[in-house]
């Protein structure tokens, strides 16, 4: 029992202690003016000295006073409140579908290029979630599941950090938007979450893949998946870095002219049909702002129920008080019983 955490159910009962203290003080003064009591048995006088009986009588009075005080405290019902809360997290299932075609190497977004900017922003987004299962799908001319939906955020962050472009990963280059969408939808089809979300990032338009964007969109819509589509980078003529290895094994970089195009119409349709939103991110700060906006739109539902449970401590005072009172009565009826005057 911690006194600092104790509360009282009936604190008004403690006010009874004030008149009772005055009453005890008055009785003690009266007793000091009375002659020593008489006992009714010569047998006890032989066994006990007058001095010992006087002390026993004082102890008996003390038992009565203390018993009443303890019972008054018990009447006030000391108790300790234990506040408890139950949190229910209703998380989302989110799949991030990232374009890793070679055009993602275009250096128009910090810290280095479109891909590194996307990886950095995705990592920041993941760190802000707490109860959502997150998966990652990468695609170029074909699509692969990098991480299935999981709560293991450390694993996701490690895999995202190692993402490479199609050429570096030695997969078919291109932009198969329909395949990427269908693969992402497949990762969410068995989800038990109330909300299924796909974040789709690409910097191009569909130019390859065995599944058309229209088919991929129908699959996602059929599974009740909301798509937030993001068009990366600026459209128009630009420079695409091309890496190669010379005869001595040294890696070299050169630039070639490239026409960057984003199919805004398709990405807008993907979002509108599924109840999501389309965002355009032409530089790193706008991409970060897009993910912050998505973070606000898709929040986990948290229900918290608080309840207070009281632990009663009145019996810690009532039981000792009752025992003291009974003991006092036994002493009064036996050893301290008064004889005839």
Q: Can you read off the two tokens belonging to residue 205?
A: 């338009």
Q: In sequence order, what DSSP letters do the residues of 177-224 get, joined into one string?
A: HHHHHHHHHHHHTT--SS-EEEEEEESS-----SS-HHHHHHHHHHTT
Higher-pLDDT residue of 341, 131? 131
Q: Which residues contact 334 (CB under 8 A, 6 or more apart)?
A: none
Q: Which of 63, 42, 51 is nearest to 329 (CA)?
A: 63
Q: Which of 158, 219, 160 is nearest to 184 (CA)?
A: 219
CA–CA distance from 118 to each of 112, 114, 277 (Å)?
A: 10, 6, 18
| % helix, strand, coil for the chain, step of 5 | 45, 25, 30
CA distance 140 to 166: 6
Identify whether the C-beta of residue 220 lies closer than 8 Å to the C-beta of residue 274.
Answer: yes
Identify whether the C-beta of residue 94 lies closer than 8 Å to the C-beta of residue 199.
Answer: yes
pLDDT at 50 over 80: no
Q: Can you read off the two tokens belonging to residue 326?
A: 């009974």
For residue 258, the Cα-to-chain-centroid distance in whole angstroms is: 47
Question: Residue 311: what are its φ and ψ, rounded to 5°?
Answer: -105, 120
Higher-pLDDT residue of 270, 305? 270
Higher-pLDDT residue of 65, 160? 160
- For the chain, give the longest Cα–Cα distance: 130
Query: What is the band of 39 on the pLDDT scale with cuts at 50, 70, 90?
Result: very low
Query: What is the band of 23 on the pLDDT scale with cuts at 50, 70, 90?
Result: confident
Mean pLDDT of 165-183: 92
Q: Which of 261, 109, 96 is nearest to 163 (CA)?
A: 96
Structural domains for the chain: 3-82+308-333 (no CATH), 92-299 (3.40.50.410)
Q: In sequence order, what DSSP letters do the residues of 293-319 get, joined into one string?
A: HHHHHS--EEEEEEEEEEEE-THHHHH
pLDDT at 187 over 50: yes
Task: Kindly report, residue by residue over 279-328, the tens digit of the pLDDT.
Answer: 999 887 888 888 888 888 777 665 556 667 778 888 888 898 888 888 88
pLDDT at 1 over 50: yes
Task: Kindly report, residue by residue over 6-22, the tens digit of the pLDDT.
Answer: 788 888 888 888 888 88
Q: Which residues contact 260 (CB under 8 A, 6 or more apart)?
A: 103, 106, 203, 204, 233, 234, 235, 236, 237, 238
CA distance 74 to 313: 8
Mean pLDDT of 95-123: 93
Cα angle 153, 175, 228 (rounded to 5 degrees) comes to: 50
pLDDT at 341 over 50: no
Higher-pLDDT residue of 216, 41? 216
Mean pLDDT of 170-195: 92
CA distance 163 to 122: 12
Mean pLDDT of 74-81: 86
Highest mean pLDDT among 217-221, 235-239, 252-256: 217-221
CA–CA distance from 154 to each of 121, 146, 151, 203 (Å)?
A: 15, 14, 9, 27
CA–CA distance from 312 to each of 15, 215, 317, 321 (Å)?
A: 20, 66, 11, 16
């Amino acid at each position: 029992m911690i006194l600092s955490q104790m509360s009282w159910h009936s604190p008004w009962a403690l006010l009874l202690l004030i008149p009772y203290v005055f009453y005890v003080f008055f009785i003690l003064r009266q007793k000091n003016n009375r002659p020593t009591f008489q006992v009714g048995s010569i047998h006890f006088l032989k066994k006990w000295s007058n001095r010992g009986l006087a002390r026993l009588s004082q102890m008996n009075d003390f038992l009565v006073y203390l018993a009443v005080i303890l019972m008054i405290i018990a009447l006030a019902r000391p108790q300790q409140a234990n506040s408890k809360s139950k949190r229910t997290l209703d998380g989302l299932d989110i799949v991030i579908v990232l374009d890793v075609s070679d055009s993602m190497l275009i250096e128009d977004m910090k810290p280095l290029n479109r891909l590194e900017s996307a990886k950095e922003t995705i990592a920041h987004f993941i760190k802000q979630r707490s109860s959502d299962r997150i998966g990652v799908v990468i695609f170029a001319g074909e699509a692969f599941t990098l991480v299935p939906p999981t709560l293991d955020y450390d694993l996701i962050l490690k895999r995202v950090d190692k993402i490479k472009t199609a050429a570096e990963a030695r997969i078919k280059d291109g932009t198969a938007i329909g395949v990427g969408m269908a693969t992402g939808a497949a990762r969410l089809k068995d989800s038990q979450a109330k909300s299924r979300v796909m974040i789709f990032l690409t910097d191009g338009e569909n130019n390859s893949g065995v599944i058309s964007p229209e088919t991929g969109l129908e699959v996602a819509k059929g599974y009740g998946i909301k798509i937030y589509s993001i068009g990366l980078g600026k459209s128009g003529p630009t420079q695409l870095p091309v890496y190669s290895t010379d005869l001595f094994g040294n890696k070299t970089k050169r630039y070639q002219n490239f026409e960057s195009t984003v199919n805004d119409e398709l990405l807008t349709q993907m979002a509108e049909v599924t109840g999501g939103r389309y965002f355009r991110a032409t530089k790193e700060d706008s991409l970060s702002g897009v993910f912050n906006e998505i973070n606000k739109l898709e929040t986990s539902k948290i229900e918290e129920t608080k309840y207070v449970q009281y632990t009663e401590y009145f019996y810690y005072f009532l039981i000792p008080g009752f025992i003291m009172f009974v003991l006092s009565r036994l002493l009064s009826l036996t050893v301290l019983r008064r004889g005839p005057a």
